Structure 1
Amino acid sequence: MDTLETRELRYFTAVAEELHFGRAAERLGMAQPPLSRAIQQLERRLGVRLLERNRRGVSLTGAGEVLLHEGRAALDAATAAARRTRRAGGADGPGGRGGPGGPRPRLVLAVKAAGSHELLRKLLDAHAAEPGAAEIEVLPCGICEQEELLRDGRADVALMHAPFNSLAGFDSEELMTEGQVAVLPAGHPVAARETLSLAEVGDIPGLPLARWPRHGTYPPGPGPEIQNLTQLAQLIALGRTVGVVPDSARAWLWAEHAAVPLTDAPPVVTHIAWPAHSRSLALAGLIRTAARL
Protein backbone atom coordinates (compact mmCIF):
# COMPACT_ATOMS: atom_id res chain seq x y z
CA MET A 1 0.00 0.00 0.00
CA ASP A 2 1.38 3.41 -0.99
CA THR A 3 -0.83 5.55 1.26
CA LEU A 4 0.70 7.03 4.42
CA GLU A 5 -1.29 8.43 7.33
CA THR A 6 -0.42 11.75 8.90
CA ARG A 7 -0.16 9.99 12.28
CA GLU A 8 2.45 7.59 10.90
CA LEU A 9 4.49 10.44 9.48
CA ARG A 10 4.40 12.30 12.80
CA TYR A 11 5.55 9.20 14.66
CA PHE A 12 8.37 8.44 12.25
CA THR A 13 9.55 12.05 12.00
CA ALA A 14 9.79 12.31 15.78
CA VAL A 15 11.89 9.14 16.00
CA ALA A 16 14.05 10.13 13.03
CA GLU A 17 14.76 13.57 14.47
CA GLU A 18 15.41 12.38 18.03
CA LEU A 19 17.16 9.11 17.02
CA HIS A 20 15.86 7.78 20.31
CA PHE A 21 12.52 6.02 20.90
CA GLY A 22 12.22 7.18 24.49
CA ARG A 23 12.72 10.87 23.68
CA ALA A 24 10.44 10.61 20.65
CA ALA A 25 7.67 9.01 22.76
CA GLU A 26 8.00 11.75 25.37
CA ARG A 27 7.84 14.41 22.63
CA LEU A 28 4.68 12.80 21.22
CA GLY A 29 3.08 12.37 24.65
CA MET A 30 2.75 8.59 24.38
CA ALA A 31 4.30 5.42 25.73
CA GLN A 32 7.34 3.92 24.02
CA PRO A 33 6.02 0.37 23.22
CA PRO A 34 3.13 1.49 20.97
CA LEU A 35 5.48 3.91 19.20
CA SER A 36 7.94 1.09 18.50
CA ARG A 37 5.12 -1.11 17.22
CA ALA A 38 3.83 1.68 14.95
CA ILE A 39 7.26 2.13 13.34
CA GLN A 40 7.64 -1.63 12.84
CA GLN A 41 4.20 -1.79 11.20
CA LEU A 42 5.15 1.13 8.95
CA GLU A 43 8.31 -0.66 7.84
CA ARG A 44 6.35 -3.84 7.09
CA ARG A 45 3.77 -1.93 5.06
CA LEU A 46 6.43 -0.13 3.02
CA GLY A 47 8.59 -3.21 2.68
CA VAL A 48 11.79 -1.37 3.64
CA ARG A 49 13.89 -0.85 6.75
CA LEU A 50 13.74 2.78 7.85
CA LEU A 51 15.84 2.59 11.00
CA GLU A 52 18.90 0.66 12.10
CA ARG A 53 18.59 -0.37 15.74
CA ASN A 54 21.57 -1.58 17.78
CA ARG A 55 23.12 -1.21 21.22
CA ARG A 56 24.68 2.13 20.21
CA GLY A 57 21.29 3.63 19.40
CA VAL A 58 19.16 4.37 16.36
CA SER A 59 20.27 5.60 12.93
CA LEU A 60 18.50 6.25 9.64
CA THR A 61 18.84 4.03 6.61
CA GLY A 62 18.89 5.52 3.12
CA ALA A 63 15.16 4.85 2.84
CA GLY A 64 14.65 6.50 6.23
CA GLU A 65 16.48 9.63 5.09
CA VAL A 66 14.12 9.87 2.10
CA LEU A 67 11.01 9.41 4.23
CA LEU A 68 12.22 12.00 6.76
CA HIS A 69 12.68 14.57 4.00
CA GLU A 70 9.39 13.75 2.29
CA GLY A 71 7.52 13.35 5.57
CA ARG A 72 8.53 16.78 6.83
CA ALA A 73 7.34 18.34 3.58
CA ALA A 74 4.03 16.43 3.75
CA LEU A 75 3.40 17.43 7.38
CA ASP A 76 4.25 21.06 6.61
CA ALA A 77 1.85 20.96 3.66
CA ALA A 78 -0.93 19.49 5.80
CA THR A 79 -0.40 22.13 8.49
CA ALA A 80 -0.33 24.89 5.89
CA ALA A 81 -3.52 23.59 4.27
CA ALA A 82 -5.33 23.61 7.63
CA ARG A 83 -4.19 27.15 8.45
CA ARG A 84 -5.14 28.57 5.06
CA THR A 85 -8.49 26.75 5.05
CA ARG A 86 -9.41 28.18 8.45
CA ARG A 87 -8.40 31.64 7.29
CA ALA A 88 -10.44 31.33 4.08
CA GLY A 89 -13.45 30.26 6.13
CA GLY A 90 -13.11 33.13 8.58
CA ALA A 91 -12.41 30.84 11.53
CA ASP A 92 -8.89 32.05 12.25
CA GLY A 93 -8.36 35.44 13.81
CA PRO A 94 -10.41 38.62 14.16
CA GLY A 95 -12.62 40.05 11.45
CA GLY A 96 -13.32 36.67 9.94
CA ARG A 97 -17.02 37.23 9.33
CA GLY A 98 -17.88 39.89 6.86
CA GLY A 99 -21.67 40.09 6.88
CA PRO A 100 -24.65 38.32 5.37
CA GLY A 101 -22.66 37.09 2.37
CA GLY A 102 -20.55 34.85 4.60
CA PRO A 103 -16.97 35.12 5.74
CA ARG A 104 -14.85 37.89 4.31
CA PRO A 105 -11.64 36.56 2.72
CA ARG A 106 -8.50 37.27 4.73
CA LEU A 107 -4.88 37.09 3.60
CA VAL A 108 -1.73 37.22 5.68
CA LEU A 109 1.07 39.18 4.01
CA ALA A 110 4.57 38.58 5.41
CA VAL A 111 6.99 41.49 5.09
CA LYS A 112 10.46 42.11 6.44
CA ALA A 113 10.13 44.60 9.28
CA ALA A 114 10.90 48.15 8.02
CA GLY A 115 11.42 46.88 4.47
CA SER A 116 9.76 48.29 1.31
CA HIS A 117 7.69 50.70 3.39
CA GLU A 118 6.52 52.96 0.57
CA LEU A 119 5.75 50.07 -1.79
CA LEU A 120 3.79 48.28 0.94
CA ARG A 121 1.74 51.38 1.72
CA LYS A 122 0.84 51.85 -1.97
CA LEU A 123 -0.07 48.18 -2.33
CA LEU A 124 -2.35 48.14 0.71
CA ASP A 125 -4.08 51.39 -0.28
CA ALA A 126 -4.62 50.26 -3.88
CA HIS A 127 -5.94 46.86 -2.84
CA ALA A 128 -8.31 48.30 -0.23
CA ALA A 129 -9.90 50.40 -2.98
CA GLU A 130 -10.82 47.29 -5.03
CA PRO A 131 -14.45 46.05 -4.78
CA GLY A 132 -14.68 42.96 -2.60
CA ALA A 133 -11.03 43.18 -1.60
CA ALA A 134 -9.81 40.68 0.98
CA GLU A 135 -8.80 41.86 4.41
CA ILE A 136 -5.00 42.02 4.58
CA GLU A 137 -3.17 41.23 7.80
CA VAL A 138 0.43 42.47 7.65
CA LEU A 139 2.82 40.11 9.43
CA PRO A 140 6.21 41.75 10.09
CA CYS A 141 8.99 39.18 10.24
CA GLY A 142 12.71 38.89 10.78
CA ILE A 143 15.49 38.53 8.27
CA CYS A 144 14.70 35.91 5.59
CA GLU A 145 11.75 34.47 7.55
CA GLN A 146 9.26 35.01 4.73
CA GLU A 147 10.09 31.67 3.11
CA GLU A 148 9.31 29.65 6.24
CA LEU A 149 6.09 31.57 6.88
CA LEU A 150 4.86 30.84 3.36
CA ARG A 151 5.78 27.18 3.48
CA ASP A 152 4.07 26.38 6.78
CA GLY A 153 0.90 28.37 6.06
CA ARG A 154 1.33 31.17 8.57
CA ALA A 155 1.39 33.53 5.57
CA ASP A 156 -0.44 33.40 2.24
CA VAL A 157 1.80 35.82 0.38
CA ALA A 158 5.05 37.70 1.05
CA LEU A 159 7.23 40.54 -0.15
CA MET A 160 10.62 38.95 -0.81
CA HIS A 161 13.91 40.46 -1.85
CA ALA A 162 16.38 38.87 -4.27
CA PRO A 163 19.22 38.03 -3.90
CA PHE A 164 18.61 37.70 -0.14
CA ASN A 165 15.46 35.53 -0.23
CA SER A 166 15.11 32.28 -2.17
CA LEU A 167 12.11 32.13 -4.49
CA ALA A 168 12.48 28.38 -5.13
CA GLY A 169 9.12 26.63 -5.02
CA PHE A 170 7.10 29.85 -5.18
CA ASP A 171 5.35 31.77 -7.92
CA SER A 172 6.29 35.44 -7.95
CA GLU A 173 5.82 38.78 -9.67
CA GLU A 174 8.63 41.34 -9.83
CA LEU A 175 7.56 44.67 -8.35
CA MET A 176 10.58 46.91 -7.93
CA THR A 177 14.34 47.09 -8.52
CA GLU A 178 16.53 49.41 -6.48
CA GLY A 179 20.14 50.06 -5.60
CA GLN A 180 21.81 49.78 -2.22
CA VAL A 181 23.27 52.37 0.15
CA ALA A 182 25.78 52.40 2.96
CA VAL A 183 24.36 53.77 6.21
CA LEU A 184 26.94 55.46 8.45
CA PRO A 185 26.98 57.70 11.52
CA ALA A 186 26.07 61.18 10.27
CA GLY A 187 29.16 62.81 11.78
CA HIS A 188 31.70 60.41 10.26
CA PRO A 189 34.01 61.96 7.59
CA VAL A 190 33.15 59.21 5.07
CA ALA A 191 29.46 60.16 5.34
CA ALA A 192 30.24 63.28 3.29
CA ARG A 193 31.18 61.20 0.22
CA GLU A 194 28.80 61.27 -2.75
CA THR A 195 29.31 57.56 -3.50
CA LEU A 196 31.20 54.58 -2.14
CA SER A 197 32.22 51.15 -3.39
CA LEU A 198 31.69 47.94 -1.45
CA ALA A 199 35.45 47.61 -0.96
CA GLU A 200 35.58 51.10 0.55
CA VAL A 201 32.68 50.33 2.89
CA GLY A 202 34.50 47.26 4.15
CA ASP A 203 37.65 49.26 4.86
CA ILE A 204 36.41 52.24 6.93
CA PRO A 205 38.64 52.63 10.01
CA GLY A 206 36.73 52.07 13.24
CA LEU A 207 33.48 51.08 11.46
CA PRO A 208 33.39 47.31 10.84
CA LEU A 209 30.69 46.14 8.45
CA ALA A 210 27.60 44.70 10.15
CA ARG A 211 27.07 40.98 9.55
CA TRP A 212 23.65 39.56 8.66
CA PRO A 213 22.71 35.88 9.06
CA ARG A 214 22.69 33.77 5.91
CA HIS A 215 21.14 30.28 6.11
CA GLY A 216 21.44 30.25 9.88
CA THR A 217 25.08 31.38 10.11
CA TYR A 218 26.92 34.70 10.04
CA PRO A 219 29.76 35.45 7.60
CA PRO A 220 33.21 35.87 9.15
CA GLY A 221 34.43 39.33 10.11
CA PRO A 222 34.93 41.73 13.01
CA GLY A 223 31.58 43.52 12.69
CA PRO A 224 28.64 42.93 15.04
CA GLU A 225 26.08 40.19 14.34
CA ILE A 226 22.83 41.95 13.41
CA GLN A 227 19.43 40.37 14.02
CA ASN A 228 17.09 43.20 12.96
CA LEU A 229 17.05 46.73 11.55
CA THR A 230 16.36 48.35 14.92
CA GLN A 231 19.55 46.86 16.29
CA LEU A 232 21.45 47.99 13.19
CA ALA A 233 20.09 51.54 13.47
CA GLN A 234 21.17 51.87 17.09
CA LEU A 235 24.68 50.53 16.54
CA ILE A 236 25.21 52.84 13.55
CA ALA A 237 24.00 55.85 15.56
CA LEU A 238 26.48 54.88 18.31
CA GLY A 239 29.33 54.78 15.79
CA ARG A 240 29.89 51.02 16.18
CA THR A 241 29.18 49.75 12.67
CA VAL A 242 28.21 50.53 9.08
CA GLY A 243 25.38 48.77 7.25
CA VAL A 244 24.53 48.03 3.63
CA VAL A 245 20.78 48.11 2.91
CA PRO A 246 18.38 48.67 -0.01
CA ASP A 247 17.81 52.31 -0.95
CA SER A 248 14.18 52.15 0.24
CA ALA A 249 15.47 51.65 3.78
CA ARG A 250 16.10 55.40 3.90
CA ALA A 251 12.51 55.57 5.20
CA TRP A 252 13.63 54.39 8.66
CA LEU A 253 16.87 56.40 8.95
CA TRP A 254 17.40 58.48 12.07
CA ALA A 255 18.83 62.00 12.27
CA GLU A 256 22.08 60.39 13.44
CA HIS A 257 22.38 58.45 10.14
CA ALA A 258 23.70 59.29 6.69
CA ALA A 259 23.11 57.20 3.54
CA VAL A 260 25.71 57.06 0.75
CA PRO A 261 24.85 55.33 -2.58
CA LEU A 262 26.97 52.32 -3.53
CA THR A 263 28.35 52.15 -7.05
CA ASP A 264 28.91 48.39 -7.34
CA ALA A 265 26.40 46.70 -5.03
CA PRO A 266 24.05 44.24 -6.76
CA PRO A 267 20.51 45.57 -7.26
CA VAL A 268 17.80 44.42 -4.89
CA VAL A 269 14.65 43.13 -6.63
CA THR A 270 11.43 43.06 -4.59
CA HIS A 271 8.96 40.32 -5.55
CA ILE A 272 5.51 39.46 -4.32
CA ALA A 273 5.60 35.68 -3.86
CA TRP A 274 3.06 32.98 -3.03
CA PRO A 275 2.87 29.14 -2.96
CA ALA A 276 2.92 27.76 -6.47
CA HIS A 277 -0.11 25.52 -5.84
CA SER A 278 -2.38 28.31 -4.55
CA ARG A 279 -5.84 28.60 -6.12
CA SER A 280 -7.12 31.40 -3.87
CA LEU A 281 -9.27 33.98 -5.67
CA ALA A 282 -8.57 36.50 -2.91
CA LEU A 283 -4.84 36.04 -3.43
CA ALA A 284 -5.23 36.38 -7.19
CA GLY A 285 -6.91 39.75 -6.65
CA LEU A 286 -4.01 40.98 -4.52
CA ILE A 287 -1.47 39.81 -7.12
CA ARG A 288 -3.33 41.68 -9.87
CA THR A 289 -3.23 44.86 -7.78
CA ALA A 290 0.49 44.40 -7.13
CA ALA A 291 1.22 43.82 -10.81
CA ARG A 292 -0.52 47.09 -11.73
CA LEU A 293 1.73 48.94 -9.30
Structure 2
Amino acid sequence: METRELRYFVAVAEELHFGRAAQRLGIAQPPLSRAIRQLERRLGVTLLERDSRSVALTAAGSVLLREGRAALDAVAAAGRRTRRAGQAADGGAGLVLTTKAGASSELLAKLLDAYAAEPDAVPVEVLLCGIGEQERLLRDGRADVALLHLPFDSTTGLDSEELVTEQQVAILPAGHPLARLPHLRTADLETLPDLPMPRWPRPDGSYPPGPGPGVRDPAQLLQLIALGRTVAVLPESARSLLLADLTAVPVPDAPAVTTVIAWPPHSRSRALAALVRTATRL
Protein backbone atom coordinates (compact mmCIF):
# COMPACT_ATOMS: atom_id res chain seq x y z
CA MET A 1 0.00 0.00 0.00
CA GLU A 2 1.09 3.56 -0.65
CA THR A 3 0.95 6.25 2.01
CA ARG A 4 -1.17 8.31 -0.39
CA GLU A 5 -3.80 5.56 -0.46
CA LEU A 6 -3.75 5.31 3.32
CA ARG A 7 -4.21 9.08 3.67
CA TYR A 8 -7.15 8.95 1.28
CA PHE A 9 -8.76 6.04 3.10
CA VAL A 10 -8.27 7.50 6.59
CA ALA A 11 -9.84 10.78 5.46
CA VAL A 12 -12.93 8.99 4.11
CA ALA A 13 -13.15 6.69 7.14
CA GLU A 14 -13.00 9.63 9.54
CA GLU A 15 -15.41 11.84 7.61
CA LEU A 16 -17.70 9.00 6.43
CA HIS A 17 -18.45 11.25 3.48
CA PHE A 18 -16.56 11.28 0.17
CA GLY A 19 -17.29 14.93 -0.56
CA ARG A 20 -15.98 16.19 2.80
CA ALA A 21 -12.97 13.87 2.60
CA ALA A 22 -12.12 15.16 -0.89
CA GLN A 23 -12.39 18.74 0.32
CA ARG A 24 -10.17 17.95 3.31
CA LEU A 25 -7.57 16.36 1.03
CA GLY A 26 -7.75 19.14 -1.56
CA ILE A 27 -8.62 16.82 -4.44
CA ALA A 28 -11.66 16.11 -6.60
CA GLN A 29 -14.10 13.42 -5.51
CA PRO A 30 -13.86 11.07 -8.57
CA PRO A 31 -10.12 10.28 -8.17
CA LEU A 32 -10.70 9.75 -4.44
CA SER A 33 -13.45 7.21 -5.14
CA ARG A 34 -11.24 5.45 -7.71
CA ALA A 35 -8.35 5.26 -5.23
CA ILE A 36 -10.55 3.65 -2.56
CA ARG A 37 -11.93 1.09 -5.06
CA GLN A 38 -8.38 0.28 -6.17
CA LEU A 39 -7.31 -0.20 -2.56
CA GLU A 40 -10.23 -2.56 -1.95
CA ARG A 41 -9.35 -4.61 -5.04
CA ARG A 42 -5.72 -4.84 -3.98
CA LEU A 43 -6.63 -6.01 -0.47
CA GLY A 44 -9.46 -8.24 -1.65
CA VAL A 45 -11.92 -6.91 0.94
CA THR A 46 -14.70 -4.33 1.21
CA LEU A 47 -13.59 -1.44 3.39
CA LEU A 48 -16.63 0.82 3.12
CA GLU A 49 -20.33 0.15 2.69
CA ARG A 50 -21.77 3.03 0.71
CA ASP A 51 -25.05 3.96 -0.83
CA SER A 52 -26.52 7.21 -2.11
CA ARG A 53 -27.09 8.48 1.43
CA SER A 54 -24.37 7.17 3.73
CA VAL A 55 -20.91 5.67 4.11
CA ALA A 56 -20.09 3.13 6.85
CA LEU A 57 -16.98 1.19 7.83
CA THR A 58 -16.92 -2.58 7.52
CA ALA A 59 -15.07 -4.73 10.06
CA ALA A 60 -12.10 -4.79 7.70
CA GLY A 61 -12.33 -1.03 7.26
CA SER A 62 -12.20 -0.51 11.03
CA VAL A 63 -9.00 -2.53 11.19
CA LEU A 64 -7.40 -0.56 8.36
CA LEU A 65 -8.43 2.74 9.94
CA ARG A 66 -6.63 1.80 13.16
CA GLU A 67 -3.58 0.37 11.40
CA GLY A 68 -3.53 3.13 8.79
CA ARG A 69 -3.46 5.87 11.42
CA ALA A 70 -0.55 4.12 13.14
CA ALA A 71 1.31 3.71 9.84
CA LEU A 72 0.85 7.36 8.86
CA ASP A 73 1.93 8.47 12.34
CA ALA A 74 5.05 6.31 11.99
CA VAL A 75 5.88 7.83 8.59
CA ALA A 76 5.43 11.36 9.96
CA ALA A 77 7.58 10.50 12.99
CA ALA A 78 10.31 9.11 10.73
CA GLY A 79 10.35 12.37 8.80
CA ARG A 80 10.57 14.49 11.96
CA ARG A 81 13.37 12.37 13.45
CA THR A 82 15.30 12.39 10.17
CA ARG A 83 15.14 16.19 9.95
CA ARG A 84 16.20 16.51 13.58
CA ALA A 85 19.11 14.11 13.02
CA GLY A 86 20.26 16.18 10.05
CA GLN A 87 20.02 19.40 12.04
CA ALA A 88 21.97 17.83 14.89
CA ALA A 89 24.71 16.70 12.50
CA ASP A 90 25.00 20.29 11.30
CA GLY A 91 25.18 21.55 14.88
CA GLY A 92 21.78 23.22 14.64
CA ALA A 93 19.64 21.21 17.05
CA GLY A 94 19.67 20.01 20.62
CA LEU A 95 17.38 17.56 22.37
CA VAL A 96 13.65 17.86 23.02
CA LEU A 97 12.56 16.36 26.34
CA THR A 98 8.85 16.09 27.07
CA THR A 99 7.22 15.60 30.45
CA LYS A 100 3.86 16.11 32.06
CA ALA A 101 3.56 19.66 33.41
CA GLY A 102 4.15 19.69 37.16
CA ALA A 103 5.34 16.07 37.34
CA SER A 104 8.80 15.04 38.58
CA SER A 105 9.74 18.73 38.88
CA GLU A 106 12.60 18.24 41.33
CA LEU A 107 14.03 15.29 39.39
CA LEU A 108 13.80 17.21 36.11
CA ALA A 109 15.59 20.25 37.55
CA LYS A 110 18.43 18.06 38.88
CA LEU A 111 18.70 16.22 35.58
CA LEU A 112 18.92 19.38 33.48
CA ASP A 113 21.52 20.94 35.79
CA ALA A 114 23.65 17.80 35.88
CA TYR A 115 23.50 17.28 32.12
CA ALA A 116 24.32 20.93 31.39
CA ALA A 117 27.56 20.42 33.34
CA GLU A 118 28.66 17.61 30.98
CA PRO A 119 31.47 18.71 28.60
CA ASP A 120 29.62 17.81 25.39
CA ALA A 121 26.12 18.79 26.50
CA VAL A 122 23.72 20.20 23.89
CA PRO A 123 20.77 22.50 24.57
CA VAL A 124 17.68 20.73 25.94
CA GLU A 125 14.26 22.09 25.09
CA VAL A 126 11.65 21.05 27.66
CA LEU A 127 8.22 20.42 26.16
CA LEU A 128 5.63 20.48 28.95
CA CYS A 129 2.37 18.77 28.09
CA GLY A 130 -0.97 17.69 29.49
CA ILE A 131 -1.78 14.46 31.24
CA GLY A 132 -0.85 11.41 29.16
CA GLU A 133 0.43 13.42 26.18
CA GLN A 134 4.19 12.94 26.64
CA GLU A 135 4.08 9.35 25.40
CA ARG A 136 2.36 10.43 22.16
CA LEU A 137 4.84 13.29 21.61
CA LEU A 138 7.72 10.84 21.96
CA ARG A 139 6.20 8.25 19.66
CA ASP A 140 5.30 10.69 16.90
CA GLY A 141 8.80 12.18 16.74
CA ARG A 142 8.13 15.60 18.22
CA ALA A 143 10.32 14.73 21.23
CA ASP A 144 13.60 12.82 21.49
CA VAL A 145 13.15 11.63 25.06
CA ALA A 146 10.41 11.63 27.70
CA LEU A 147 9.83 11.19 31.40
CA LEU A 148 7.01 8.66 31.70
CA HIS A 149 5.22 7.30 34.74
CA LEU A 150 4.38 3.64 35.22
CA PRO A 151 1.80 2.13 35.45
CA PHE A 152 -0.09 5.03 33.81
CA ASP A 153 2.06 5.43 30.67
CA SER A 154 3.22 2.62 28.39
CA THR A 155 6.82 1.92 27.40
CA THR A 156 5.89 -0.80 24.89
CA GLY A 157 8.18 -0.47 21.88
CA LEU A 158 10.44 2.04 23.61
CA ASP A 159 13.78 1.75 25.37
CA SER A 160 13.71 2.98 28.96
CA GLU A 161 15.51 3.13 32.28
CA GLU A 162 13.82 3.32 35.67
CA LEU A 163 14.81 6.39 37.69
CA VAL A 164 12.76 6.50 40.88
CA THR A 165 9.78 4.72 42.48
CA GLU A 166 7.42 6.59 44.80
CA GLN A 167 4.41 5.79 46.94
CA GLN A 168 1.26 7.84 46.38
CA VAL A 169 -0.53 10.37 48.56
CA ALA A 170 -4.04 11.82 48.56
CA ILE A 171 -4.17 15.57 47.96
CA LEU A 172 -7.04 17.11 49.93
CA PRO A 173 -8.27 20.56 50.94
CA ALA A 174 -6.44 21.39 54.18
CA GLY A 175 -9.72 21.82 56.09
CA HIS A 176 -11.30 18.51 55.06
CA PRO A 177 -11.93 15.99 57.92
CA LEU A 178 -9.89 13.28 56.17
CA ALA A 179 -6.87 15.60 56.03
CA ARG A 180 -6.28 14.97 59.75
CA LEU A 181 -5.91 11.18 59.37
CA PRO A 182 -2.43 9.53 59.34
CA HIS A 183 -3.26 7.53 56.19
CA LEU A 184 -6.13 6.64 53.87
CA ARG A 185 -7.24 3.78 51.64
CA THR A 186 -8.20 4.16 48.01
CA ALA A 187 -11.69 2.94 48.90
CA ASP A 188 -12.04 5.87 51.33
CA LEU A 189 -11.49 8.30 48.46
CA GLU A 190 -13.63 6.65 45.80
CA THR A 191 -16.88 7.10 47.75
CA LEU A 192 -16.57 10.68 49.00
CA PRO A 193 -19.87 12.43 48.13
CA ASP A 194 -18.38 15.93 48.49
CA LEU A 195 -15.09 15.27 46.64
CA PRO A 196 -15.68 13.16 43.50
CA MET A 197 -12.57 11.79 41.82
CA PRO A 198 -11.35 13.80 38.79
CA ARG A 199 -11.80 12.53 35.25
CA TRP A 200 -8.66 12.28 33.13
CA PRO A 201 -8.88 12.64 29.34
CA ARG A 202 -8.86 9.59 27.10
CA PRO A 203 -6.32 9.37 24.23
CA ASP A 204 -8.89 10.93 21.89
CA GLY A 205 -9.32 13.93 24.22
CA SER A 206 -12.80 13.00 25.47
CA TYR A 207 -13.64 12.39 29.13
CA PRO A 208 -15.21 9.28 30.64
CA PRO A 209 -18.62 9.81 32.29
CA GLY A 210 -18.74 10.62 35.99
CA PRO A 211 -19.52 13.32 38.54
CA GLY A 212 -15.94 14.56 38.99
CA PRO A 213 -14.50 17.50 37.07
CA GLY A 214 -12.49 16.92 33.90
CA VAL A 215 -8.86 17.98 34.31
CA ARG A 216 -5.96 18.33 31.87
CA ASP A 217 -2.98 19.55 33.90
CA PRO A 218 -1.73 19.52 37.51
CA ALA A 219 -2.17 23.28 38.03
CA GLN A 220 -5.86 23.03 37.16
CA LEU A 221 -6.21 19.93 39.35
CA LEU A 222 -4.63 21.54 42.42
CA GLN A 223 -6.83 24.61 42.07
CA LEU A 224 -9.96 22.44 41.90
CA ILE A 225 -8.85 20.54 45.01
CA ALA A 226 -8.27 23.79 46.89
CA LEU A 227 -11.79 24.88 45.90
CA GLY A 228 -13.21 21.69 47.41
CA ARG A 229 -14.35 20.25 44.06
CA THR A 230 -12.26 17.06 43.86
CA VAL A 231 -9.52 14.93 45.42
CA ALA A 232 -6.54 13.28 43.73
CA VAL A 233 -4.02 10.53 44.37
CA LEU A 234 -0.57 11.58 43.15
CA PRO A 235 3.07 10.51 43.62
CA GLU A 236 4.79 11.56 46.85
CA SER A 237 6.86 14.18 45.02
CA ALA A 238 3.65 16.19 44.46
CA ARG A 239 4.11 17.48 48.01
CA SER A 240 6.56 20.04 46.61
CA LEU A 241 3.69 21.63 44.63
CA LEU A 242 1.34 22.11 47.57
CA LEU A 243 0.29 25.49 48.91
CA ALA A 244 -1.02 26.19 52.40
CA ASP A 245 -4.64 25.37 51.46
CA LEU A 246 -3.76 21.76 50.49
CA THR A 247 -2.47 18.76 52.40
CA ALA A 248 -1.14 15.30 51.49
CA VAL A 249 -2.11 12.07 53.27
CA PRO A 250 -0.34 8.74 52.47
CA VAL A 251 -2.37 6.07 50.64
CA PRO A 252 -0.44 2.83 51.32
CA ASP A 253 -2.64 0.58 49.14
CA ALA A 254 -2.34 2.78 46.02
CA PRO A 255 0.06 1.37 43.38
CA ALA A 256 3.58 2.75 43.49
CA VAL A 257 4.55 5.09 40.63
CA THR A 258 7.85 4.59 38.81
CA THR A 259 9.33 7.45 36.79
CA VAL A 260 11.27 6.25 33.74
CA ILE A 261 13.27 8.00 31.06
CA ALA A 262 12.25 6.61 27.65
CA TRP A 263 13.42 7.06 24.06
CA PRO A 264 12.93 5.42 20.61
CA PRO A 265 14.91 2.17 20.36
CA HIS A 266 16.46 3.11 17.00
CA SER A 267 17.98 6.36 18.27
CA ARG A 268 21.73 6.72 17.66
CA SER A 269 22.08 10.17 19.22
CA ARG A 270 25.19 10.51 21.37
CA ALA A 271 23.63 13.52 23.10
CA LEU A 272 20.60 11.43 24.03
CA ALA A 273 22.82 8.63 25.31
CA ALA A 274 24.68 11.13 27.51
CA LEU A 275 21.40 12.49 28.89
CA VAL A 276 20.21 8.97 29.75
CA ARG A 277 23.53 8.17 31.46
CA THR A 278 23.19 11.35 33.51
CA ALA A 279 19.64 10.46 34.50
CA THR A 280 20.55 6.94 35.61
CA ARG A 281 23.56 8.26 37.54
CA LEU A 282 21.30 10.62 39.46
TM-score, normalised via structure 1 length: 0.85
For 2:237, which of 242, 248, 252 is the aligned residue? 248
Answer yes or no: is 1:88 the counterpart of 2:85.
yes
Q: Is 2:118 the counterpart of 1:130?
A: yes
Q: Is the aligned partner of 1:271 residue 2:257? A: no
Q: Which residue of 37, 46, 52 corresponds with 1:55?
A: 52
In the alignment, does 2:27 pair up with 1:30? yes
Correspondence for 1:144 among 132, 139, 142: 132
1:76 aligns with 2:83: no
Residue 179 in 1 paired to residue 167 in 2? yes
In structure 2, runs of 5+ residues without a counterpart are none
How far apart, CA to CA, are the structure 2 residues paired with 1:181 and 1:63? 45
User: Could you list the runs of 4 or more consecutive aligned residues of structure 1 that deviate by over 6 angstroms after TM superposition?
Assistant: none
User: 2:69, 2:23 → 1: CA distance?
Assistant: 19
2:277 aligned to which of 256, 264, 288: 288
Alignment partners' CA distance in 2, 1:9 and 1:106: 33
1:112-261 correspondence to structure 2 within 5 Å: 112-204=100-192, 206-215=194-203, 218=207, 221-261=210-250
| Aligned partner letter, 1:15 | V
What is the identity, as a one-letter code, of the residue corresponding to 1:85? T
CA 1:292–1:6 in 2, change beyond 3 Å: closer, same or farther? same
Q: Distance in 2 between matches of 1:263 and 1:193?
A: 13
Q: Is the 8 A contact 1:180 1:265 kept in 2?
A: yes
Aligned residues: 281
1:133-167 Cα offsets, whole Å, 9 max, x none, are 23211111111111221222111211111121122
Moved more, 49-58 or 107-116: 49-58
1:148-205, Cα deviation, whole Å (9 max, x unpaired): 2122211121111112112222222111100111112223343222222222334556
Name the amino acid aligned to 1:224: P
Question: Hey, what's the Cα distance between the residues in 1 that align with 2:117 and 2:3?
Answer: 42
Q: Is residue 8 of structure 1 aligned with residue 10 of structure 2?
A: no
Q: Distance in 2 between matches of 1:9 and 1:159?
A: 32
Q: Spell out, residue by residue over 1:235-286, the C-alpha distance to the aligned partner (whole angstroms, 9 max, x if none).
A: 2222333221111111211121111111211101111112233333332222
Q: Look up the SS of the partner of 1:8 in the other structure.
A: helix
- Alignment check: 8 A CA contact 1:206 1:240 kept: yes
| 2:84 alignment partner AA | R
What is the TM-score normalised by the length of structure 2?
A: 0.88
3-state SS of 1:130 partner: coil
Gaps of 5+ in 1: 91-95
SS in 2 for 1:81: helix
Sort the Cα spacing of 1:191 and 1:279 in 2 relative to 1 into closer, same or farther, 3 A.
Answer: same
Partners of 1:62 and 1:241 lie apart in 2 by 40
Which letter maps to 1:102? D
Question: 1-side partners of 2:60 and 2:180: how far apart?
Answer: 60
Deviations 1:192-243 (A, max 9, x none): 2222222233455633333334555656654333222112221222233322
* 1:279–1:239 CA distance, 2 compared to 1 (3 A): same
Q: Distance in 1 between matches of 2:44 and 2:277?
A: 48
Give the stretch that moved more between structures: 18-27 or 188-197: 188-197
Deviates more, 1:192-201 or 1:178-187: 192-201
Query: 3-state DSSP class of the match of 2:237?
Result: helix
CA contact (8 A) 1:110 1:146 kept: yes
1:63, CA displacement in angstroms?
A: 4.1
